[in-house]
């Protein structure tokens, strides 16, 4: 278990990068264009969790899009 929910993992997969800082930046840049409150909350949760990881920990994780 990587500590991310299925929804959080799916969001990370959308940005398709092994670079933690790039994913955090991409999510943050997308926030002004999101008009769904739940999606904003999810995005902020993901950014907070990513901040708590090291670059090495993130790169070692395997995120796969769930259907």
pLDDT digits (tens, 9 = 90+) for 5-14: 999 999 999 9
Give pLDDT, residue 1.
47
pLDDT digits (tens, 9 = 90+) for 33-66: 999 999 999 999 999 999 999 999 999 998 888 8
Pairwise CA distance, residues 65 & 62, whole Å: 10
Q: What one-character-per-residue DSSP string does 17-60 give? A: -S-HHHHHHHHHHHGGG---HHHHHHHHHHHHHHHTS-HHHHHH
DSSP 11: H
pLDDT band at 2 (very low <50, low <70, confident <90, very high): low
Give pLDDT, residue 51.
97
Nearest to 27 by CA among 1, 6, 45: 45
Pairwise CA distance, residues 54 & 21, whole Å: 10
């Amino acid at each position: 278990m990587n500590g991310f929910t299925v929804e959080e993992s799916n969001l990370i997969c959308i940005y398709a990068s092994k670079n933690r800082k790039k994913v955090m930046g991409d999510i943050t840049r997308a926030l002004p264009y999101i008009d769904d409150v739940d999606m904003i909350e999810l995005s902020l949760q993901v950014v907070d969790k990513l901040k708590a990881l090291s670059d090495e920990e993130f790169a070692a994780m395997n995120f796969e899009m769930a259907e």
